[in-house]
């Protein structure tokens, strides 16, 4: 059995920063998913926020997958659905990181996450995780957010200079016109 040394007290600034990166990048992803839903529905984003903010994260991704299937060409819908599935997988990692119980490791750039479950049986482990590994997960989340934004841009539904501005849509044709 290998002996590990932990330091009592708070985590290092490096570890706090890495964990914080996950929180910030995930919040940006959630906002982008809400923006995707509002734009694909043709709704003003600020008017849609009261709905999105009251939806659980999984429900947002499930809703976006459904909307994409209804509103997008098959290839765009397939790509957006794949991004949603990838985000849900990353969400599991995010939850472990943000909701984990942490102990500082031997050096400033590693910590030990205490994992325990008591659903039917008790299990526990304590993996060592580096700030770099956490930052890499944050980078993957950020890349997904960018991929959603790029999809909206391709569809003409996002102005990167003013992302909150609703895109100008051509007037709909009326009967007899």
How does pLDDT run across 26-58, given as a tens digit for each residue?
999 999 999 999 999 999 999 999 999 999 999
What per-residue confidence (pLDDT) applies to 170? 39
- Residue 105 included in any domain: no
How many domains, in total, are found in the chain?
1
For residue 13, give the nearest of 85, 89, 82, 111 by alpha carbon: 111
CA distance 136 to 130: 10
Write b or e for each residue in 59-73: b if 16 or more Cβ atoms lie within 10 A of its Cβ, otherwise e: ebbebbbebbeeebe
Our CA dihedral for 66, 68, 72, 74, rounded to 10 degrees, sits at -70
- pTM of the complete model: 0.85
Name the residue range of residue 60's domain: 13-100+132-154
- Residue 46 included in any domain: yes
- Residue 124 included in any domain: no
- Residue 52 included in any domain: yes
| Confidence band, pLDDT 50/70/90 cuts, at residue 168 | low
- Residue 90 included in any domain: yes
- Residue 163 included in any domain: no
CA distance 127 to 137: 16
110 has pLDDT over 90: yes
Name, in order, each residue with C-beta under 8 angstroms of 50's C-beta and a sequence gap of 6 or more: none
CA distance 28 to 78: 22
- Residue 84 included in any domain: yes
For residue 85, give the nearest of 159, 177, 148 by alpha carbon: 148
- Please report, for residues 95, 104, 114, 125, 134, the alpha-carbon distance to residue 101 in angstroms, rounded to integers and kept in the order given: 11, 10, 5, 11, 15
- Residue 27 included in any domain: yes
Q: Which two tokens stand for residue 19?
A: 């964990």
Q: Which residue has the higher pLDDT, 115 or 65?
A: 65
């Amino acid at each position: 059995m290998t002996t590990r040394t932990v330091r009592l007290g708070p985590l290092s600034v490096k570890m706090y920063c890495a964990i914080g990166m996950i929180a910030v990048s995930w919040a940006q992803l959630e906002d982008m998913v809400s923006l995707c839903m509002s734009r694909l529905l043709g709704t003003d984003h600020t008017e849609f926020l009261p709905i999105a903010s009251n939806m659980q994260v999984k429900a947002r991704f499930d809703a976006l997958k459904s909307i994409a299937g209804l509103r997008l060409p098959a290839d765009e819908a397939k790509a957006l659905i794949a991004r949603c599935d990838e985000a849900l997988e990353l969400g599991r990692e995010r939850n472990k990181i943000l909701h984990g119980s942490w102990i500082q490791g031997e050096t400033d750039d590693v910590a030990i996450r205490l994992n325990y479950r008591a659903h039917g049986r008790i299990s526990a482990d304590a993996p060592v995780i580096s700030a770099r590994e956490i930052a890499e997960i944050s980078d993957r989340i950020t890349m997904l957010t960018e991929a959603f934004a790029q999809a909206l841009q391709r569809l003409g539904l996002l102005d990167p200079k003013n992302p909150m501005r609703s895109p100008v849509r051509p007037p709909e044709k009326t009967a007899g016109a």
